[in-house]
Structure 1
Amino acid sequence: MTERSPAVSSVLLVGGRHPAAARAARRAGLRVHYLGPQHRAPDWLETEADAVTLLDTADAESVITAALAVHDERPFGVAITVSDAYIEAVAVVNERLGLPANSSWTTRAVNDKALMRDVLRDSRTAPVAAARVTTADQARQFAAGSGYPFILKPVDGTGSHGVTLVPDEGGLGAALAHTVEAGSGTWIAEEYLEGPEFSVETFSAAGEHHLLAVTEKFKGANFVETGHLVPARVSPETVRVMATEVMACLDAVGVTEGAAHTELVLTGRGPRVVETHVRPGGDGIVELVRLATGLDVQQLTFDWLAGRPLDLDRPRDTSRAAATWFLTPPPGSVTDIGGVQEALSEEGVTEAYLTVSPGDVIGELRSSSDRAGAVIAVGDTPDVALHRARGAVDRLRVRTAETSSAS
């Protein structure tokens, strides 16, 4: 059994529109003070938060300043967030107040993909060729040294946004025009890792990393994720090898506590880390892990902070699996939607939803925000869960009409 020392009695929850984190904190007996932007204030604050501070401007410095002011008036035990936008700001707050948490260096190393590669280069993780790119000439130099194909992506990108495959020398000019030469920030050039993709869900306590689950991932156009499956259909030995690689990554970037979500590719040379995040997995992975293993990652987080003893290495129930599949309709203006109730009526389906309305414009699939809905389903085996999710998503209906603005 593992428990946190010191335990806390209150948290500052920064950002986030879903109530799951606040509810988990309150179930753990913690007082919740919510801090976030006024224009995105969720509708559950009155019932799920004990105190609320809303900001007109929610950039990092504004969040840090406001959090320190909140602590002066009503001290909290730790600041926490499940939103990528605030992870670094929250780490700075905790450091300035001397509150135990992952360091600001750790969150910077995780959020800056080029810095992460620099750190991992000197670690026990398997090597991946990569370089920070700020000019087209630097991208050409990387290609000359490492060859094709390779990947260009923003160093601070999320949701698969901006991930570009450069297949060969002939495609380099178009890729550069779309990325580096477009003047949209700093990029990383990285060797293309070929093989099936997975994510490893972990929880760290007092510097020790514990495996929760391995998620099998499915990709569509432009590397956008179209589905997830827990547990992944791999052997126990493969799980062990992937977990070893991930633990080495977490050690290298200095993760000491909390949930982490690490993506990797199982290449012909073994697993290679793509990137890691010091937060639970998105895209419904938290729910898949809960359905398949009985472990609620959000609840683990706040039980740990509250000082409740955790048994993180107990045997997992392997008799259930869970999958999600996303709806990716053709680009265009949405003219008609429906089918949620029909999808929910399918065997094993626990959740079905749409994220668009008539009049919305759906662009080409370039990031997770271009998806239009999803289904979650369970089954006695991974194959059954996946079959049910993929079948039920076909019951969702989003019709589109071509429009010149869809791109």
Structure 2
Amino acid sequence: MPPPLLLLIGSGPEPMRRSMLHSAATDTPLVLIDDAEPTWQIPYVVDYEVTDLRSLSGVVRAAETLARRWDIGGVLTFDEHHLMAAARLGERIGLPGNSVTSILATRDKATSRYRFAAADVPSAAFTWVHSVAAAASAVERLGDFPVVLKPSAHAGGTGVVRVNTLADLPAGWDVASEGATRQGAEGQGVLLEEYLNGGEVAVETVTEHGDTTAIAVIRKNVAFAPYFEASRHLVTASDPLLAQVAPFAAAAVRALDITHGVSDVEMKLTTTGPRLIEVNACLPGDRISDLVHLATGVDLTRAAAALASGNRPNLERTRDRSATIGMIYPPDDGVVAGLALRRGDNRHLKTLRWLCDTGDYVTLSPSPQTPNSSRAGFAIVTGDTPDQARTHLDDVLDRAVVNLGSAQSHTA
């Protein structure tokens, strides 16, 4: 008999997800549930169903239709918006995966904070707020500005904003409360949190039967304050920081009862030590899985697919390098007249992708509703050391040109 297939919920945008889909399909044939007819996904899937991915009942019906045609042995998603659907399907069909309760704990940031506190995992003080006046009162209870406002259960930085003063609070409230209207059923309302001052990192972990292994630490650069737009990510296989933050990441995963799969654990390196931001119980975005693979040789997406199928993942390190991604931004708001990479040394350039085309209208500053909307493209480079990788990336970004209109040009 042929082996069971892996059911994937949502493929996402091609520039960010093609490599992940390729890896997921390496060892196990895939069937796909998506919200549009597949195009670029076709080489990687053997069958598919189209439905509204926002509808749990629609996803369940699509899965049942595929299950009548194929033997489904696992369920996977790349997108945290679909984690609840994947967990419910897993429980319904009896497939490997995390419980609905544990996934809900990761999706609802308030529940995460309570779980962290109960397990003595350092995090941020927080409270729910329902108005600008309530937020102002909460600041007094928590300490002082700056603070962070965010929807309880959104994703990708949507609606997350730093508020520095009382005068900034109404505008910050508008951003967070508007984001909260589109956050789905996993969380309710807006949270006001203590601002954690320090460098932001993420730890990529693999958990099998409750045993968590930290694979890599991601050093992040964040831009466009008061929003939290990640402009760069850096992975180094031999980063000494990994040994320091790995226990905190494992404790956070354990606190949320995540027993299975790949998790992206975000934290701040404060003067008092690491403090947890959140645990995303799915593969990371922004092509971070590619960075980890280029730097360490570990394929996180392939590992996630193996675990979802009930198999053991291959976590052997075969490389000791650095890899980094940098986002390319337009010079201003305007219509794209041309995109180019000027001549130079491209030996270390692994990928350059434009996320816009001639004639598209682009913006320099991200929207609080769509934090990544300002990106014109991205570049991925490697180096033998972190400094080399940074230098190679600086060179590529200096040569990446976004022209606006007939007279405007810019070196990103």
TM-score normalised by the chain length of structure 1: 0.87
Stretch of structure 1 that moved more, 366-375 or 42-51: 42-51
Residues 76, 332 of structure 1: alpha-carbon distance in 2 compared, 3 angstrom cutoff? same
Q: 1:249 aligns with which of 247, 252, 260?
A: 252
Deviation of 1:105 (Å): 1.5
For 1:155, the equivalent position in structure 2 comes to 152
For 1:9, the equivalent position in structure 2 comes to 4
Q: For residues 183 and 95 of structure 1, what CA distance do their matches in structure 2 show?
A: 28
Residues 26, 395 of structure 1: alpha-carbon distance in 2 compared, 3 angstrom cutoff? same
Where in structure 2 are there 5+ consecutive unaligned residues?
183-188, 407-412
For 1:126, the equivalent position in structure 2 comes to 122
- What does residue range 363-374 of structure 1 map to in structure 2 within 5 Å? 363=363, 364-366=365-367, 367-374=371-378
The letter for the 2-side match of 1:14 is I
CA contact (8 A) 1:289 1:322 kept: yes
Matched, 1:355 2:355: yes
Q: For residues 71 and 165 of structure 1, what CA distance do their matches in structure 2 show?
A: 45
For 2:26, the equivalent position in structure 1 comes to 27
For 2:400, the equivalent position in structure 1 comes to 396
Matched, 1:206 2:209: yes
- What does residue range 138-153 of structure 1 map to in structure 2 within 5 Å? 138-146=134-142, 147-153=144-150
For 1:54, the equivalent position in structure 2 comes to 50
- What does residue range 230-309 of structure 1 map to in structure 2 within 5 Å? 230-231=235-236, 236=240, 238-306=241-309, 308-309=311-312
For 1:220, the equivalent position in structure 2 comes to 223
The letter for the 2-side match of 1:15 is G
Q: For residues 343 and 337 of structure 2, what CA distance do their matches in structure 1 show?
A: 15
Q: For residues 294 and 338 of structure 1, what CA distance do their matches in structure 2 show?
A: 32
CA contact (8 A) 1:216 1:232 kept: no
The letter for the 2-side match of 1:141 is S
Q: For residues 119 and 203 of structure 2, what CA distance do their matches in structure 1 show?
A: 19
The letter for the 2-side match of 1:16 is S
Q: For residues 204 and 153 of structure 1, what CA distance do their matches in structure 2 show?
A: 28
Q: For residues 105 and 308 of structure 1, what CA distance do their matches in structure 2 show?
A: 23
CA contact (8 A) 2:180 2:190 kept: no
Q: For residues 56 and 150 of structure 1, what CA distance do their matches in structure 2 show?
A: 36
The letter for the 2-side match of 1:33 is V
The letter for the 2-side match of 1:160 is G
Matched, 1:92 2:88: yes
Report Cα offsets for 1:32-68 as digits up to 9, x if no partner: 2111112xx3313432211111126652331123223
Q: For residues 254 and 116 of structure 1, what CA distance do their matches in structure 2 show?
A: 11
The letter for the 1-side match of 2:359 is G
The letter for the 1-side match of 2:233 is H
Matched, 1:36 2:31: no
Alignment partner of 2:366: what SS? coil
Deviation of 1:190 (Å): 0.8
Q: How many residues align?
A: 387
- What does residue range 372-391 of structure 1 map to in structure 2 within 5 Å? 372-391=376-395
Report Cα offsets for 1:53-97 as digits up to 9, x if no partner: 112665233112322343245341121111222111111111122
CA contact (8 A) 2:23 2:301 kept: yes
Alignment partner of 1:368: what SS? coil
The letter for the 2-side match of 1:380 is D
Q: For residues 277 and 393 of structure 2, what CA distance do their matches in structure 1 show?
A: 26
Deviation of 1:106 (Å): 1.8
Q: For residues 178 and 155 of structure 2, what CA distance do their matches in structure 1 show?
A: 20
For 2:324, the equivalent position in structure 1 comes to 323
The letter for the 1-side match of 2:324 is A
CA contact (8 A) 1:227 1:324 kept: yes
Q: For residues 160 and 131 of structure 1, what CA distance do their matches in structure 2 show?
A: 19
For 2:165, the equivalent position in structure 1 comes to 168
Residues 223, 241 of structure 1: alpha-carbon distance in 2 compared, 3 angstrom cutoff? same
CA contact (8 A) 1:159 1:224 kept: no
TM-score normalised by the chain length of structure 2: 0.86
The letter for the 2-side match of 1:225 is A
Q: For residues 284 and 189 of structure 1, what CA distance do their matches in structure 2 show?
A: 30
CA contact (8 A) 2:337 2:404 kept: yes
Deviation of 1:140 (Å): 2.1
The letter for the 1-side match of 2:231 is T
Stretch of structure 1 that moved more, 243-252 or 357-366: 357-366
For 2:339, the equivalent position in structure 1 comes to 338
Residues 244, 182 of structure 1: alpha-carbon distance in 2 compared, 3 angstrom cutoff? closer
CA contact (8 A) 2:148 2:162 kept: yes
Stretch of structure 1 that moved more, 87-96 or 353-362: 353-362
Q: For residues 333 and 24 of structure 1, what CA distance do their matches in structure 2 show?
A: 36
Residues 58, 158 of structure 1: alpha-carbon distance in 2 compared, 3 angstrom cutoff? closer
% same residue: 27
Report Cα offsets for 1:304-331 as digits up to 9, x if no partner: 445554453x56643x111111112233
Alignment partner of 2:6: what SS? strand
Deviation of 1:352 (Å): 0.7
Deviation of 1:341 (Å): 7.1
